[in-house]
C-alpha cells in the first residue's frame, strides 16, 4: 500500500487506535483522548480493524463534490461573457447570468472563473478616506440631492446626453430623467417627476450651477419684498415652500455623485443590451420596473419613520409653477415678442388697455402655457410672422405723423424784417 494523505486529526486517531491495538489503551480511554463519544469511537475502531489506516480517512476524499458546477456550464458562461458581457464586473455579471441566461452561481464563483480565464481586470482599489463623511439625514424627504451627469450614455449610438438624478439623502431612493443638457427646464422636469412619485421634499441640494444661483442684482419687486435675486428654479421652489440649499463642493453632495458613477456603469450596459438609442426609449426604461428594482436595491430604511414630504398641488398648478416666468412689454398693436415669436393678446373685461403694459410669459421649454397680467390671464394667439409695420404719413419723424404747419398769423409766415427798420 502506498502513502496515505491524512489530516492532523486523522493522524491523532491513528496513534490512539494503534495503542488500543497494542493493548496499551482501552476503547473508552481512546474516546476520552480523542474527545469523541464512546459509540463513535467504537465505530471508528471497527473501521480501523477492517480497513486499516485507510478506514480512518474521510470517505469523500478524492471524489467530486455533488455541488460541483459542471464544466459545460462553466464553458457556456464564459462564452456568454466574451460575447455579451465583456466589460461587466462580477456582481453585475452574476445578476445577468441568473436573470437572462438561467445560470445561477455565486459572485465568488464568477470572480474565480474570470480570473482563471484571464478575463478579470482585478478589483478596483478605493482611495483612502481623506475626510469624514456627513451622516445621513434621519427622515425620508428631509433633503434631496440633485445633479446632472453629462456622459456618453449611448456609447456612440447617439450624441452625448445629460442624466438628471435626484436621490434622497436618508434612503438613497432615486428618480432620474434623460435630457439633452442640464438646464432650467430639465431640472424642473426631474423635480416634477420626484413630486409626482413622493410629494414635495423639505429641501433640495444641488451644486452652484447658474441654474440654481445668480450674480445679478435683485429686481425692484424682489428688493421691496426683502428677497434676494433668484433664478427661475429658485423662484419655483420658493413658491412651493421648498428650501433651496447650494452645495459648496462636489464632495458635499457625494451621495448623488457616487450614484452617477454606479449608473454610468450599470445603466450604460442595460441600454446597450436593450439596443436603446433615443432619449424617449431611455426615459421609458427609467419609468419601468427595472429602474424601480434598481432604486430599491441601492436604498435603505431611514433612521426615523416619519416622512417629511408634503402633498403636492394639482398637476396643472404644479406645471405652471415649474415653468419659466419672463416679463415682456406689450406693443401698441397688443403684440409681444418672445423667443423670436410673436403673440397677439386679447383684451379682457378687467384689462382694456394693453399697450405699454408689462405682462408675464409662463413657458415650459418651447411651449407657452399662459400670459399673465397681474393675477389674471390673457388670451393669446401666436402669429405666423412678425406683424407688418405701419407706415408713417408726411415727412415727420417715423411714427409721429405729418409735419405740422404754422398758422396764418404765425411769425414764420411774415416776411423777414431787418433790425432797426
Which pLDDT tens digit goes with each residue over 71-129?
A: 888 888 888 888 888 888 888 889 888 888 889 889 988 888 888 888 875 656 665 55
Which range scores top for mean pLDDT: 288-297, 368-377, 412-421? 288-297
Query: What was the pLDDT predicted at 366?
Result: 85
Q: Where are the beta strands (DSSP E) in 201-357?
A: 203-205, 243-244, 324-329, 335-338, 341-346
Which pLDDT tens digit goes with each residue over 121-142?
A: 565 666 555 566 778 999 999 9
Exposed/middle/buried for 51, CB within 10 Å: 0-12, 13-18, 19+? exposed
Which range scores top for mean pLDDT: 236-240, 247-251, 362-366? 236-240
User: In whole angstroms, what is the distance from residue 369 CA to residue 345 CA?
Assistant: 14
Spatial contact of 197 and 171, defined as CB atoms under 8 Å apart? no
Query: What was the pLDDT predicted at 129?
Result: 58
Confidence of residue 394 (pLDDT cuts 50, 70, 90): low
Instruction: Pick one of 3.40.640.10, 3.40.250.10, 1.10.3720.10, 3.30.420.10 as the CATH number of 144-297.
Output: 3.30.420.10
- Identify which of 295, 53, 35, 269 has the alpha carbon closest to the alpha carbon of residue 165: 295
Q: CB count, 10 Å around CB of 310?
A: 15
User: In whole angstroms, what is the distance from residue 190 CA to residue 178 CA?
Assistant: 9
Query: Half-sphere exposure of 274 toward its Cβ, with a 13 Å CA cutoff?
Result: 17
Total-model pTM:
0.69
Which pLDDT tens digit goes with each residue over 360-382?
A: 999 988 889 899 888 788 889 99
The DSSP code for 248 is S
Query: What was the pLDDT predicted at 350?
Result: 59
Q: What are the sequence ranges of the domains in the chain?
A: 8-56, 71-115, 144-297, 323-382
Which pLDDT tens digit goes with each residue over 26-70?
A: 999 999 999 999 999 999 999 888 888 888 887 767 666 667 788
Dihedral sign for Cα 224, 228, 231, 237, please.
negative
Query: Can you state the angle between helices 279-286 and 254-274, rounded to 10 degrees?
Result: 110
User: In whole angstroms, what is the distance from residue 234 CA to residue 76 CA?
Assistant: 55
Query: What was the pLDDT predicted at 62?
Result: 64
Helix (H, G, I), strand (E, B) or coil at 21: helix
Amino acid at each position: 500500500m502506498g502513502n496515505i494523505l491524512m489530516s492532523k486529526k486523522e493522524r491523532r486517531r491513528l496513534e490512539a487506535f494503534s495503542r488500543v491495538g497494542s493493548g496499551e489503551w482501552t476503547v473508552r480511554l481512546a474516546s476520552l483522548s480523542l474527545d469523541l463519544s464512546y459509540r463513535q469511537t467504537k465505530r471508528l475502531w471497527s473501521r480501523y480493524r477492517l480497513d486499516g489506516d485507510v478506514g480512518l480517512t474521510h470517505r469523500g476524499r478524492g471524489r467530486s463534490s455533488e455541488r460541483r458546477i459542471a464544466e459545460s456550464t462553466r464553458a457556456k458562461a464564459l462564452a456568454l461573457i466574451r460575447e455579451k458581457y465583456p466589460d461587466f464586473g462580477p456582481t453585475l455579471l452574476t445578476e445577468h447570468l441568473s436573470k437572462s441566461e438561467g445560470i445561477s452561481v455565486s459572485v465568488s464563483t464568477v470572480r474565480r472563473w474570470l480570473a482563471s480565464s484571464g478575463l478579470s481586470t482585478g478589483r478596483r482599489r478605493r482611495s483612502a478616506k481623506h475626510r469624514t463623511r456627513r451622516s445621513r439625514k434621519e427622515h425620508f424627504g428631509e433633503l434631496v440631492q440633485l445633479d446632472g451627469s453629462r456622459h456618453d450614455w449611448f456609447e456612440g449610438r447617439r450624441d452625448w446626453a445629460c442624466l438628471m438624478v435626484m436621490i434622497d439623502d436618508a434612503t438613497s431612493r432615486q428618480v432620474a430623467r434623460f435630457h439633452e443638457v442640464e438646464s432650467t427646464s430639465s431640472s424642473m422636469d426631474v423635480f416634477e417627476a420626484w413630486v409626482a412619485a413622493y410629494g414635495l421634499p423639505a429641501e433640495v441640494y444641488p451644486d452652484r450651477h447658474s441654474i440654481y444661483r445668480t450674480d445679478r442684482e435683485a429686481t425692484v419687486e424682489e428688493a421691496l419684498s426683502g428677497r434676494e435675486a433668484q433664478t427661475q428654479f429658485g423662484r419655483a421652489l420658493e413658491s412651493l415652500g421648498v428650501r433651496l440649499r447650494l452645495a459648496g463642493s462636489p464632495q458635499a453632495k457625494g451621495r448623488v455623485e457616487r450614484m452617477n458613477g454606479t449608473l454610468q456603469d450599470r445603466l450604460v450596459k442595460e441600454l446597450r443590451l436593450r439596443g436603446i438609442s433615443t432619449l424617449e426609449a431611455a426615459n421609458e426604461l427609467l419609468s419601468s420596473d427595472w429602474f424601480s428594482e434598481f432604486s430599491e436595491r441601492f436604498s435603505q430604511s431611514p433612521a426615523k419613520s416619519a416622512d417629511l414630504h408634503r402633498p403636492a398641488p394639482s398637476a396643472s398648478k404644479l406645471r405652471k409653477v415649474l415653468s419659466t416666468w419672463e416679463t415682456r412689454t406689450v406693443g401698441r398693436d397688443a403684440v409681444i415678442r418672445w423667443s423670436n415669436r410673436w403673440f397677439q393678446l386679447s383684451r379682457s373685461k378687467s384689462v382694456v388697455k394693453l399697450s405699454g403694459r408689462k405682462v408675464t410669459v409662463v413657458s415650459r421649454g418651447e411651449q407657452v402655457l399662459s400670459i399673465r397680467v397681474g393675477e389674471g390671464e390673457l388670451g393669446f394667439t401666436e402669429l405666423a410672422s412678425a406683424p407688418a409695420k405701419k407706415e408713417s404719413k408726411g415727412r415727420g419723424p417715423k411714427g409721429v405723423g405729418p409735419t405740422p404747419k404754422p398758422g396764418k398769423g404765425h411769425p414764420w409766415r411774415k416776411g423777414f424784417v431787418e433790425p432797426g427798420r
